[in-house]
Chain A
């Protein structure tokens, strides 16, 4: 196995493009190193992207923030600007692993590991985040909900990699939140995750909303019906009940060692509703 740590995105792309065997990208390594140690992957080339400046920076852009793919949870969590604008995204990233893991685990890695249970992804999807992808044919932007193709698989072409993720600007009266269900209090994988992002207009009605669910399908779901349950309403108990119903209705989970279909379906509604209440508070209500 060859290890390379290029200092430009172009060099990374050309290393990936030039590899005839299997190549893997290393950001924080909190997923990849575990897979290597368990013998689940045996790559010929590992490309470490942490020396590429663009993957390590957080910059303001058009009223939002562009976050490098290799930015760790710990760094993101200390960024006052991102915390203030997208608290739900930050709380989701900070749920990944432990304090030690937070020092390494990256937002781009969490996205590209393509686990349906990834904690940061429902929050990013709810936020309407966009991934900037670089490959042999140049740059392209892709909404984060379209990055994962299925468990452990992305839609990225060979030699493509995520350079950064853009969290957009948002109007006043907005709030977001992420909740996950785990049987323990930490060091666990989401049995269900729910991210909610909403905006209230001057009259207190919901003018925009996005709802995303994790661990209830083969990839993170953007649930438009759940958002529709909120839009145009004062986000009262009736609307929140409809949100919960719509969220549960969108689930198509599996039974596995981490949870049952029935449990995941039901708890998805519960969490979506609870996350919406927090988002509502952050939007200035209550």
Chain B
């Protein structure tokens, strides 16, 4: 049977959709798993990094003389120890090691390798850096002001006409949309406009960045590190050190969380540069303080959203202006925020304008659906208020405007089969939606969108002589993907899940794989795994044909067996995968399947979240009482890990919405670089997060898979803001909704009420 909308065969799966143990599970719960900091090499030195205490300073000189004579110090490196790189990597290099200026509190300026951590720390204190302190700016709107200190003399705003002549902190102006917003707003019965702000947050991965780098006297290098993309790390480190890519082999460790934050390099090129100079392996492990000060948090933002609606619930126009600071270098995800802001809605008139701004903060890195959660917070808050203004159920209002198959997206392309309506309907039908609420409690709802990506992928599937299968993938496993890949390979080959062992291979063992990001792994590596399995099946059938002396075309593969295609092909007992594998040496040698692909056809995904919150009116403290995530997975390969992604997105959203915040002092220094004062939610802060998996298959994947890792963090900020605002009786437009801010909102509403 074929689904008429997607064209996908409605296949009866045996292994896909079940919940087997993940191959890394036992190791992780027993402590055998090796994370970044667990790696060691003979003769290894300890690397430590000297970081700028200033938010913005010119580096007049660096003198390491005293450090180098300290016994036990083996090498000191500065920016001079790295290669010249092209424009595409200049910012990466400058972020790894400051050149003429330190651009944020925590910016690396030098590094030392020594025989112990104690000696390394002492050596750092002996490196003399002569700084000329410059005025700094950390707030996005302040950085856009004409009088703001300018970070880079070579950034002149692009995307505006006429082109400015002087440098500024505004890197680029983006614009997306279609129609005529003024015309649309003129048709509206109600128009609401609000300003919104969100603080910078950190991904909060529990494992700090860690690596061991080793470059031998022959110029051959090895690197072990925790990363979401070791192929990219290899290419980047090779470029920064001026090495041939083939001279550097990178192995990805187990990863203790990344969420987008481990898609770049900070310490890896430094360890390699130190090792090259010292002639011994060098290990660098960031402290938690370093992670906060000098890895890649997300943007802080200032946004304005204006939406008009008719009394019948039709949205007539939507407009947004987004300003994101992305730290000291270009590339905040403001463009993605602008593209996703209105992606849930089928609008005739829509326009989003986005400003990418640099400030004296660490360069932002990706954080799950980069840019989208903030934009959704602003848009979905206004949608919520519009629903209440026209007296319409908020799900009803969304359903009246939701995108469907064939809708023109707000950012350009037309959507194929999508599941937003299905998530809204499932949310409305969920018991949560009509459960009673008590005093000081409120319910919030919000929807969200993420593109999902495909990309370059390379997989090898080796059939062993005993009939077991070794599957080598090149995408680090950040969410249970080894289990999902094993399931897809087993499903396709018709063998048991336990017969397949999936590993993440090093960079010398496979062709290039893009980073595990963009919710791409289950989609792209899954697709490649299925293709590799089919490639192997073709070869297995060929060996069976050879054994039987018939044409390969006359052999089919069913449930793990090669069989003659029909009576005409001849009468032969079916040959199992194990039987064919056993005689492989005699029938042509090893049997393996491969796939190299630049995967296209990643299906977009939508989610709708329901949240109940309670606010203490005397302290402003918000508590999350109940949470339900409804999201389209296309096809859930391993439902437990899909649910885990849904729950994790909601939990990170709770932290972002309520308490997480980069707090800078007047001096431009980060005030809270620890988990004590950077408040991610603890287990007791959270209710059980309920999940509902909706499956609207993606026609671009053989099984219908859509990425699920990022969409789940798009609606929470808005859903929680809508719930807390309802509970507090006042619209809250600034994140985090920390108790002082909520209490101030309640006070202001009371004062306005009296006035």
Contact = CB atoms under 8 A, between A and B. Distances in A.
Chain A contact residues (Cβ within 8 angstroms of B): what range? 20 to 34
B659 A184 contact: yes
Interface in B636-669: 658-659, 663
B4 interface: no
Given A259-B740, A267-B619, A270-B618, A185 B685 contact: yes
B743 interface: yes
Interface in B702-749: 738-740, 743
B684 interface: yes
A173 to B, nearest CB: 28
B684 A186 contact: yes
A184 B671 contact: no
Interface string A260-281: 1011001100100000000000
B738 A183 contact: yes
A189 interface: yes
Contacts of B685: 184-185
Interface string A176-191: 0000010111111101
Contacts of B743: 263, 266
A183 B621 contact: yes
Given A257-B671, A257-B672, A262-B740, A181 B621 contact: yes
Interface residues of B, number: 21
Contact of B676 (A39, A188, A259): A188
B682 interface: yes
Contacts of A181: 619, 621, 739
Contacts of B672: 257
Contacts of A191: 739
Contact of A258 (B619, B677, B681): B677
A263 B740 contact: yes
A246 to B, nearest CB: 17
A270 B743 CA distance: 13
Contacts of A183: 621, 658-659, 679, 738-739
A257 B677 contact: yes
Interface in B90-124: 121
A258 B671 CA distance: 10
A257 B664 CA distance: 9
A260 B738 CA distance: 11
Contact of A184 (B121, B619, B681): B681
A9 B473 CA distance: 63
A183 B684 CA distance: 12
Interface string A235-262: 0000000000000000000001111101
A267 to B, nearest CB: 5
Given A181-B619, A270-B618, A187 B682 contact: yes
A157 to B, nearest CB: 31
Interface of A: 39, 181, 183-189, 191, 256-260, 262-263, 266-267, 270
30 contacts: A181-B619, A181-B621, A183-B659, A183-B679, A183-B738, A184-B659, A184-B679, A184-B682, A184-B684, A184-B685, A185-B682, A185-B684, A186-B682, A188-B676, A189-B676, A189-B677, A191-B739, A256-B671, A257-B663, A257-B671, A259-B739, A259-B740, A260-B740, A263-B620, A263-B739, A263-B740, A263-B743, A266-B743, A267-B618, A267-B619
Given A181-B621, A189-B677, A257-B672, 17 more contacts: A39-B121, A181-B619, A183-B679, A183-B739, A184-B679, A184-B681, A185-B682, A185-B684, A185-B685, A188-B676, A191-B739, A257-B663, A266-B743, A267-B618, A267-B619, A267-B739, A270-B618
